[in-house]
Amino acid sequence: MLSQVIAGLIAEHRAKGTLREGRPFLLRRSAAPAEGLLAYPGKVLADAAGSRLFIADTGHHRILIAEQTGTILAVAGTGEVGDEDGPFDRARFHHPHGLASDGEGVYVADTGNHRIRRLDLRARTVETVAGSGKPALGPGGPGRGRGVDLNSPWDLVLHNGRLYIAMAGCHQIWAMELRGAALAPFAGSGREELRDGPRLLAGLNQPSGLATDGRVLYVADSEASAIRTVELREEGRVTTLVGEGLFEFGDVDGTGRGVRLQHPLGVAVLDGTIYIADTYNHKVKVLYPALGSVQTLFGTGKPGRELGAAAAFFEPGGLSAVPGRLFIADTNNHRVCVADLNAATVAEVPLRA
């Protein structure tokens, strides 16, 4: 089918004279990050109760545990890609992303290993709690712990003893009971489509960010450039707040169906306001669910590194909100920032050993 489509496009553009032939198509490798503590941090989690900051140092295949002022307290992972449990200094991850804390430990979406890991913060050890390590083929079915095939778990949120998992690879949200480690799909049919409706009949599109207010899950439904909600009650439904479908994206603030995002990867919720990492627009935006409106909070729409009131980002991928502050994984700038929500200014978190 793809061969037929490609052949048709070649014929069409050759006839129009818009096909460039006879010259090679050159690709360039992206520049490696400058030497520093972080490489492409994907997600960040601020622990309001403990004043700690957990950072998925995705490009370095490790998790940093720091004070919110920037002092690094511990590092889980050797920095080399792999799949190994054990003490922090021997454990290995593969492009970890999402994080969720239960106070004594931190759950990690170990995306490249198709596993869920848990950091024991007291013992300083890493344990695999879910995922066989093999990617699931298709939506998959229920199971328990390490006996279940997962598919690119990208973000996590914990609520009432249940870990919700944004399973980007199979276009679903899964849930794991912490007691007993039973896992099952919670929302999404597995079909990649923007379809609202009952939880397991609705369609999602590479969900990559999760947050909750205790009533619903807020989902960054990335491929559809949409923000969705999933009700937590048993007969819950999936509803679209922003977004029109797989091929409707842009950078338009406003209200209702005219709003456009571009591949958002992160969401956070605080006091009824939804914060969005509008990743490919290099912005952080706010969504007011009661009004159905979206406004740019920070970012120029172009890659940049500026701080202060005129802050700029480069494909921010993760957010975490605590009273008065919003932590931002500024992924392609290889840094974590913190926004003062009262002063409307942004500073870089000065990470240091």
Asked if pLDDT for residue 234 goes beyond 90, the answer is no
Asked if pLDDT for residue 186 goes beyond 90, the answer is yes
Which residue, chain included where needed, has tokens 């960054």? 220
Q: Nearest 5°: phi and psi at 139?
A: -60, -30
pLDDT of residue 353: 84
pLDDT of residue 138: 80
Nearest C-alpha neighbor of 94 from the set 104, 106, 107, 109: 109
Asked if pLDDT for residue 200 goes beyond 90, the answer is yes
Residue 58 neighbours by CB under 8 Å, 6+ apart: 39, 40, 41, 42, 43, 95, 96, 97, 331
Residue 33's pLDDT band (boundaries 50, 70, 90)? low
pLDDT of residue 30: 62
Instruction: Give the residue with greater pLDDT, 12 vs 238.
Output: 238
Residue 35's pLDDT band (boundaries 50, 70, 90)? low
Nearest C-alpha neighbor of 104 from the set 121, 89, 117, 90: 121
- The Cα–Cα gap between 160 and 209 comes to 19
Nearest C-alpha neighbor of 153 from the set 109, 186, 96: 109
Q: Which two tokens stand for residue 144?
A: 């328990």
Q: Taking a C-beta distance cutoff of 8 angstroms, is the pair 112, 122 a contact?
A: no
Asked if pLDDT for residue 24 goes beyond 80, the answer is no
Q: Which two tokens stand for residue 184?
A: 């099952």
- The Cα–Cα gap between 33 and 46 comes to 24
pTM recorded for the entire structure: 0.91
Query: HSE on the CB side for 198, CA within 13 Å?
Result: 4
**Count H helices, E strands: the chain?**
1, 28
- The Cα–Cα gap between 258 and 254 comes to 7
Q: Which two tokens stand for residue 137?
A: 């083929």
Residue 34's pLDDT band (boundaries 50, 70, 90)? low
Q: What is the DSSP string of 42-70?
A: -EEEEETTTTEEEEEEGGGTEEEEEETTS
Residue 48's pLDDT band (boundaries 50, 70, 90)? confident
pLDDT of residue 323: 95
Rounded mean pLDDT, 301-323: 97
pLDDT of residue 26: 74
pLDDT of residue 19: 87
pLDDT of residue 21: 85
Rounded mean pLDDT, 81-93: 98
Which residue, chain included where needed, has tokens 């929302």? 187
**Region of residue 2 (phi > 0: left; psi between -120 and 50: alpha; otherwise: beta):** alpha
- The Cα–Cα gap between 318 and 327 comes to 8
Amino acid letter, 209: G
Which ranges of the chain does DSSP label H, i.e. alpha helix? 2-16
Nearest C-alpha neighbor of 285 from the set 298, 272, 273: 298
Residue 196's pLDDT band (boundaries 50, 70, 90)? very high
pLDDT of residue 139: 78
Angle at CA of residue 276, ends 272 and 282, nearest 5°: 155
The percent of residues in the chain predicted with pLDDT above 90, rounded, is: 86
Rounded mean pLDDT, 321-329: 97
Q: Which two tokens stand for residue 333?
A: 């700038």
pLDDT of residue 50: 79
CA 42 vs. chain centroid, Å, equals 7
Asked if pLDDT for residue 181 goes beyond 90, the answer is yes
Amino acid letter, 191: R
Domains of the chain in start order, with CATH, are 36-138 (2.120.10.30)
Averaged confidence pLDDT in the chain: 95
Asked if pLDDT for residue 135 goes beyond 90, the answer is yes
Residue 1's pLDDT band (boundaries 50, 70, 90)? confident
Asked if pLDDT for residue 29 goes beyond 90, the answer is no
Strand order in the sheet with 335-340: 318-322, 325-330, 335-340, 345-348
Instruction: Give the residue with greater pLDDT, 49 vs 31.
Output: 49
Angle at CA of residue 50, ends 47 and 52, nearest 5°: 55
- The Cα–Cα gap between 83 and 313 comes to 31
Asked if pLDDT for residue 109 goes beyond 70, the answer is yes
